[in-house]
Structure formats: C-alpha cells, structure tokens
Structure 1
C-alpha cells in the first residue's frame, strides 16, 4: 500500500468520525468567502477619456467585482449572502453607472439540498423578484488530488457548466466599426452559451454537501472554487457558533424561474446599451442641463 493510498484511508476515517459527530448534534456553521471576478477593462470608457478618470473608474469597477460573502449552513439548508459593510468615505462617486451595476448583484440565495430547491432574493432596477428553481446537479469528477487549505485537507473535483456570459465591458466599447455590426456582435455574445470547467476543492472534515453560490453536491463543504472568470476562496470557518442564525427562506417578490429572469435582464441590458450609445458612451450622462 503506497503513501497516497494510506493517506486517503486515514482521511476517509477522519471524515467518517466527523460525519458521526455532526449527525449527533443540531449543528450550524458559517463560512466566509472572498469572491473575485476578472473583467476586461481595456476597452472601457470613451476614447477621449483622460487616463486619470479611466483609472478611477477601473478602481471602482474592481471593487464592484471583489466581494465577501457569508454562507450559513446546517445539514440540509444554507443561505449565501454578501457580507454587510459600511461604505468608505468619498467612495460613493459611481453615479448612475454604479447604481446600474448594483442591479446585477445577486441577493441572498437559499439552498435546500434535501428538497433540491434553490431560492434567490433579487432586486433588479427597483423591482423585487424571487427566483425559484430546482438545484442544478453537477456531474462532479473526483481527481484524487489533495491540498491543504488552512487546517483542512481538501480534495479536488471538476465539473462542466454551461453559461451565457454577461460582459459589462461591452457597454464601453469605443466606436471603431459600424454600430449595427457592434450591436449584433454583442447580442450574439450574450445569447451564445459556452461551456466552462468548474474546479472545486472540498473537505470531508466538514461533511455537508454545501458550497458557495449555486455550487453543492460534494461529500464535504467546498472551500475553494474557480469557474470561468470567477474565483471564490474560503477565508474563515466558524462551527457551532454560540449565537445561531435562523436560516430563513426568501419569500418576497415576483416568483420567476432563472430562465425567465435572464430574459428580463437581457431585455433591460439591450435597452441600456441603446441609451449608452445615444449618449455618446457616457455611463451617467446624456441629459441636458
């Protein structure tokens, strides 16, 4: 028996002991994740925009796509939401564009792995929606690779996922070709689904099949995940906190499926692109004084 086999056997024993311990108590845990999404800003802004202004806008955009989330979970349920924090002084200058981008931020997301149910509270341009869908099942492939994340031994798993990409940088593409050609290219990009590889690292020392965002279905909590342009990394775990939170199902808003909600977003996105072009590529301007 080689070293890797012995290690897997030992880890399996640890996971079995952990599973027994977790099953014997009504436990709850909290996992804190840092999420980062890469956005191509090379074509963003007007061609004549000063470099200083472009750098300020890029810094604001970067902060919009770097967030901290908290996953509160028990054996069957979880709620995943952005960590509340106070805005830093003098950093509210995103104008209408910042308000527009905040409409694309996902609200609290509830998963019930026993019922295979996903609910998401979502506000979009002043309208409240409740997205309701069956939990997406991932066809996870175990690789046998391991690595240490903090004090937890983690295993690697991969799966394929079909996504339709929303590229915020398309709002700011400078005019360099026929507007109608640019419009068709952007619409085609948004409509064409693409297949990406999801890479997850999970630990059987916390034997719940939960994870950040919509990800789940592994024999342990997912601590690290990468999918397309997004990476999510767990930075802190608290098991059985003294004060437990109530994991509440979202219930407010117009109930829609994810597919129906995406159609609403695409329609609004097309309207914003047209308004953006008619204003000469200015995110918040265009109205006369």
Structure 2
C-alpha cells in the first residue's frame, strides 16, 4: 500500500514514515578492554626497545578511541560504512607516543535480508576484494527489560555467538526495520545499541555501537550493492 503512512510518537521522538522510506542511522563505536590484562599480555610478548609503559598506554588509547559509522537502510537492504574523520590528535604528554590503529571496518558491508546474503567490499594488501556470504542467524532471546535511546523505547535481546562471544542488543519495535550495525540483524525492530563481548587470550573486550541520530534519508537513489573488488 504505497499511500500507507505510519506515524510514530514516542517520548519526544517522532518520525513519519512511508512504507518505502529509507533511514540514515549514525552510530558511534568504541571498545572497552581490560587494561590490566591487555598490558600484562603486551609486556610479556614485547621485544621492542621503546618505552614499554608509554607504548602500552598509547595502544590502549588508540584501541578505545571512538569510530563512527552510518547505516542506510530500507525494509530489505542496507549499506553499512565507516565515516572518514580527520584525526588531528597529538600525544597527550610531551615526547609521548601516538599510535593510530585502523580496524577491519573501513570497507562497505551490503546486506539483503530477503536473499539472506551479504556482500563486503574490503581493501587489503593494496587490492580490493568482494566477499559474498550468507547472513548470520542469531538465536535471539528477547527479555522484558527496556530503556530509552534517542527518545525511542528499546527492548533488550541477547544471543550467544560461540563459546567465547556473546551479544546484547537494544532494538526499537516502533522502527520496523529488522536490521542493525555491522553484521547484526534479525530482531523485530531497528537495533540502536549493540554490545559484542569477546574473550581474547583470557583478556575480555567489548565492542559497542550506539546510535547517535536517526533520520529519513532524503536521497532517492536506491541502495546499491558494492561492485569494487575481485
């Protein structure tokens, strides 16, 4: 029904959505790590002559520095991509070390929920690659716990990935897009916050995505699959 409009008014947040509307969602992502465990592991494996303590601190600061992404979605397709922001940071202490780390999220991730397929465009070793895969399916356990994000009521869901990894997601039932950041989806509402916990070499770490803004995408161009790469 092309003329069907759905209005959402929840705790001060409102979007008037047409069934065919696309959304643009901006996320901040950050890591939380066990600093003591990470520093201990680094010190044990380090063979460098640099000031180990200073280098450890620089790595920790770099790992926990926030990164930013945008997710463009419709009811069936999405493109998730890191935003490029200029880093003008300097060492916090005179003569200190500044380490800039780049994760694997600098490519483009396309998802098609109807076909249950993903396509990732990624640059590595001076080459461009396209990696096709099936969408991961998560055995979500939905709880009655709720809170508010950006004025929307969100509900909690949890899933186990494997023996060392788990997910906590907060999704908005009144934003009926069964999608979310990165490779996560499959809930009855848009995921506005996501926490992925992992145990890496006995050192716990978390990757967190939190929606900063949601808007109707005024770009009328259809969502397109990435084509760059082998």
Task: Tell me which of 195, 205, 211 is aligned to 1:234.
Answer: 211
Give the equivalent residue in structure 1 for 2:174. 205
Q: CA deviation at 1:71?
A: 0.6
Q: Which structure: greater strand fraction?
A: 2
| Cα distance per residue 1:154-211 (max 9 Å; x no partner) | 111111113xxxxxxxxxxxxxxxxxxxxxxxxxxxxxxx342211110011101010
Give the equivalent residue in structure 2 for 1:186. none
Task: Tell me which of 1, 13, 34 is aligned to 2:28.
Answer: 34
Instruction: Tell me if structure 1 keeps the 8 A contact 2:172–2:190.
Output: yes
Unaligned runs of 5+ in 2: 1-5, 9-15, 92-96, 198-205
| 32-41 or 220-229: bigger deviation | 32-41
SS at match of 1:114: coil
Unaligned runs of 5+ in 1: 1-15, 163-193, 255-289
Give the equivalent residue in structure 1 for 2:155. 155
- The normalised TM-score by structure 2 is 0.75
- The normalised TM-score by structure 1 is 0.60
Give the equivalent residue in structure 2 for 1:217. 186
Give the equivalent residue in structure 2 for 1:253. 229
Give the equivalent residue in structure 2 for 1:170. none
Separation in 2, partners of 1:130, 1:82: 17
Indicate how the Cα distance of structure 1 residues 62 and 114 shifts in structure 2: closer, same or farther if over 3 A, else same.
same
Separation in 1, partners of 2:23, 2:193: 16
Instruction: Tell me if structure 2 keeps the 8 A contact 1:202–1:220.
Output: yes
Give the equivalent residue in structure 1 for 2:77. 77
Indicate how the Cα distance of structure 1 residues 59 and 245 shifts in structure 2: closer, same or farther if over 3 A, else same.
farther
Indicate how the Cα distance of structure 1 residues 84 and 60 shifts in structure 2: closer, same or farther if over 3 A, else same.
same
Q: CA deviation at 1:90?
A: 5.6
Counterpart check, 1:110 vs 2:117: no
RMSD of aligned Cα (Å): 2.6
- How many residues get paired? 197
Separation in 2, partners of 1:105, 1:227: 15
Instruction: Tell me if structure 2 keeps the 8 A contact 1:209–1:218.
Output: yes
Instruction: Tell me if structure 2 keeps the 8 A contact 1:121–1:130.
Output: yes
Where does 1:20-59 land on structure 2 (aligned, <5 Å)?
Answer: 22=17, 24-39=18-33, 40-44=38-42, 45-46=46-47, 49-50=50-51, 51-59=53-61
- Return the index of the structure with the highest Cα Rg: 1
Q: CA deviation at 1:84?
A: 1.9
Instruction: Tell me if structure 2 keeps the 8 A contact 1:103–1:124.
Output: no
